[in-house]
Amino acid sequence: MYDKTRITGEIYQAYFFQNYLRSGLPTFWFCGSLRPHMATFTATSPSNDQFPFEIVRPDLEKVEIAIREQVRDFDSAVEPYIAYICNTSGKRIRPALAILVGGAIGEVSENHRKIGVILELIHMATLVHDDIIDGATARRSMPTANAKWGNALAVLLGDALFSHALTLATDFNSIEICRKVGQAAREVCQGEIIQTQRRFDLTLSKADYFRVIEMKTGALFAASTGLAAAVSGLSGKDEESLAAYGMKLGTAYQIYDDCLDLVGSEEMVGKTLRTDLAKGKLTLPILNLLEASSEAQRIKLNQRILAQEPFDLPVLLGIAEYQGALERAVDTAIQLLVECRMDLQILRPSEYKDALLQITYFLESLLHKCRK
């Protein structure tokens, strides 16, 4: 039996999360999407009351075991640290996407699970490094690696996870797969570098913002779905369509996460919030706000950002344009989810395809909660 991830708050109280808590498997929490659009949509989920990942539960159990087993490949002096990180990184969205795509194309194989393990290790490494950069002290209600052991050790642990993931990719004995895994890892790192470089940069455009989040978040989602398609034998436009689904879903997920940083509570989410503006990250809701504000209001906002003055919810709610800015960010993410569903049209009807669709509707419902 695996350790249960501690969860609190209304976001997690859907019945499918309760099913996963009873099973003792890691819990899942979705977010994010792509490019600016202005329309309001209503979630109309297909008639399927099964949790989207329920169908791949047996495969996710195998992925979880495989992730735990990777710990043993490290030196005994390093093993406890890696084990801690593996136990505090629990959504496993990327492995689930790889497995679902494999099932939707025809059959889930060990290769789909292995892709999931590799990309999840890369994701864990990015979380360790993100927490250092953001000065975060908690993730999923547990102390972060940097809070527990300091930045120096945490950086090295993230590096160790990155290198181990790239080593695992060589098991495929395929230059193309190794290249695509390496490219995804590179994109994530470049996205973080550009985001760090552009902190407190008031010239940041929406195009710049989307470029960053597509790299730092969308790339691994796209690798999950695109590589899963490749190991299933798809190529060309079909592989590109499934990679596009992952890219849009991951980018929408990041927009949701950016909205949540403003409107969520740490008790509900289980991680440090309000770090984006404090660290100079200009996210889509803030870019929308700056765009919609009067010149006088924009000057005040810019001065506050540059002075690193805190932006708590009461302050934001006091700005007339704030609610509309948040609404437009939510609408942008929801439009991307609509486009996600179109990317799945190449797949024949199946319960796996239904689950891939259901994920987009579930994320849409979470995005609507950000409006309140």
The answer as to whether 159 is a domain residue is yes
Q: Helix, strand, or coil here: 309?
A: coil
- Give me the pLDDT at residue 317, please: 59
When divided into structural domains, the chain yields a total of 1
Cβ atoms 30, 217 nearer than 8 A: no
Kind of pairing between the strands at 142-143 and 138-139: antiparallel
Q: Which residue has the higher pLDDT, 87 or 274?
A: 87
Cβ atoms 53, 96 nearer than 8 A: yes
Owning domain of residue 316? 55-369
- Give me the pLDDT at residue 253, please: 95
Q: pLDDT-derived band of residue 134, with 50, 70 and 90 as boundaries?
A: confident
The answer as to whether 40 is a domain residue is no
The answer as to whether 361 is a domain residue is yes
CATH at residue 61: 1.10.600.10
The answer as to whether 178 is a domain residue is yes
Residue among 366, 67, 156, 348 at smallest CA distance from 234: 348
Task: Residue 40: count other Cβ atoms within 10 Å of its Cβ.
Answer: 12
The pTM of the full predicted model, rounded to 2 decimals, is 0.83
Mean pLDDT of 206-229: 97
- Give me the pLDDT at residue 82, please: 95
- With 80 as the cut, is the pLDDT of residue 154 above it? yes
The answer as to whether 309 is a domain residue is yes
- Give me the pLDDT at residue 311, please: 61
The answer as to whether 300 is a domain residue is yes
The answer as to whether 245 is a domain residue is yes
- Give me the pLDDT at residue 88, please: 73
142 forms beta bridges with 139
Composition of the chain by helix, strand, coil, percent to 5: 70, 0, 30
Six-digit token string for 133: 């950069």
Burial of 2 (0-12, 13-18, 19+ CB in 10 A): middle
- Give me the pLDDT at residue 310, please: 62
Six-digit token string for 181: 């895994």
CA dist., res. 160 & res. 88, Å (int): 16
The answer as to whether 49 is a domain residue is no
Burial of 306 (0-12, 13-18, 19+ CB in 10 A): exposed
